[in-house]
């Protein structure tokens, strides 16, 4: 059964997932974890001084960051975001399993996905959409109740975006799930702008001894 991380990675590029599955350590790099950890300090950082904020991996000026957190604090779920009922909660659904970064109190509860990166101008990136739908579906299966939405947090810029479970998003999730289930060899290269920020770009598509060994050829 794939993990929610597998599905998210395959939504970015199925071939990237193929390579990643051959790594011995697939945990996120320390820099990504440091950036995600900011999502557990909103209340404290809202009033932090410039020096404190400048020493953190935020992606805007300290003043802009405090302003973003002030805006965040006007949300009705601000307190739940600052004090989730569960953190790093492992969920096992019918089709996938994985970690829900935060579970916010409510009836039903709201899962959140914490991104170490920056958001697009609107909405969330497709890999995060797929992860958001995956955790909502898995939690719905576990709790035997509909989970209609997930939040995606971008703590380096103090932004939280909603991902309601629409028909279109569910269809995208199902397509990626089918792709992952059907993978039995290296998928074709996508060969577009995604490759620029891919950690496998230097070896992807290059037939070297190390790649052959990576692919098990
Ligand atoms: S370099 Fe491009 S095709 Fe290769 S794994 Fe990365 S994103 Fe996919």
Give residue-wise pLDDT tens across range 64-121: 999 999 999 999 999 999 999 999 999 999 999 999 999 999 999 999 999 999 999 9
CA-derived radius of gyration, the chain: 18
For residue 195, pLDDT over 70 is answered with: yes
pLDDT value at position 121? 97
Taking a C-beta distance cutoff of 8 angstroms, is the pair 99, 4 a contact? yes
Q: What is the per-residue pLDDT across 28-37, written as a single tens digit (0 to 9) for each?
A: 899 999 999 9
The CATH number corresponding to 4-215 among 3.90.320, 2.30.30, 3.40.50, 2.40.360 equals 3.90.320
What pLDDT, on the 0 to 100 scale, is given for residue 207?
53
CB distance 190 to ligand 1 below 6 Å = yes
pLDDT in tens, 129-139: 999 999 999 99
Cα of 204 from ligand 1 centre, angstroms: 6
Residue ranges of domains in the chain? 4-215
CA 187 to ligand 1 center in whole angstroms:
10
Question: What percentage of the chain's residues is helix, strand, coil (to nearest 5)?
Answer: 45, 15, 40
CA–CA gap between residue 28 and residue 147 (Å, rounded): 27
User: How many percent of the chain have pLDDT more than 90?
Assistant: 88
| Ligand 1 pocket test, candidate residues 188, 201, 203, 205, most atoms within 8 A of CB | 201
140 pLDDT higher than 80: yes
Sign of the four-CA dihedral 66, 69, 74, 79: negative
Angle at the Cα of 161 from the Cα atoms of 156 and 164, rounded to 5 degrees:
150
Quickly tell me which residue has 């939280």 as its tokens: 160
CA–CA distance from 8 to each of 20, 60, 118, 144, 182 (Å)? 12, 26, 16, 24, 16
- Provide the mean pLDDT of the chain: 94
């Amino acid at each position: 059964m794939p993990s929610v991380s597998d599905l998210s990675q395959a939504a970015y590029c199925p071939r990237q997932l193929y390579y990643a599955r051959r790594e011995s350590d697939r945990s996120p790099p320390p820099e990504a974890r440091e950036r995600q950890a900011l999502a557990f300090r909103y209340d404290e950082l809202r009033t932090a001084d410039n020096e404190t904020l400048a020493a953190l991996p935020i992606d805007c000026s300290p003043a802009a960051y405090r302003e973003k957190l002030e805006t965040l604090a006007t949300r009705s779920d601000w307190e739940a975001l600052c004090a989730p009922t569960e953190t790093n909660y492992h969920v096992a659904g019918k089709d996938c399993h994985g970690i829900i970064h935060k579970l916010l109190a409510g009836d039903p509860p709201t899962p959140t996905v914490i991104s170490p990166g920056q958001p697009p101008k609107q909405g969330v990136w497709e890999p995060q959409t797929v992860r958001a739908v995956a955790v909502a579906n898995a939690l719905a299966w576990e709790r035997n109740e509909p989970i209609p939405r997930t939040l995606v947090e971008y703590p380096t810029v103090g932004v939280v975006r909603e991902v309601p479970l629409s028909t279109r998003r569910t269809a995208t999730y199902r397509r990626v799930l089918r792709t992952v289930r059907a993978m039995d060899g290296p998928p074709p290269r996508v060969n577009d702008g995604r490759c620029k920020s891919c950690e496998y770009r230097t070896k992807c598509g290059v037939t070297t001894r190390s790649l052959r060994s990576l692919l098990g050829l």
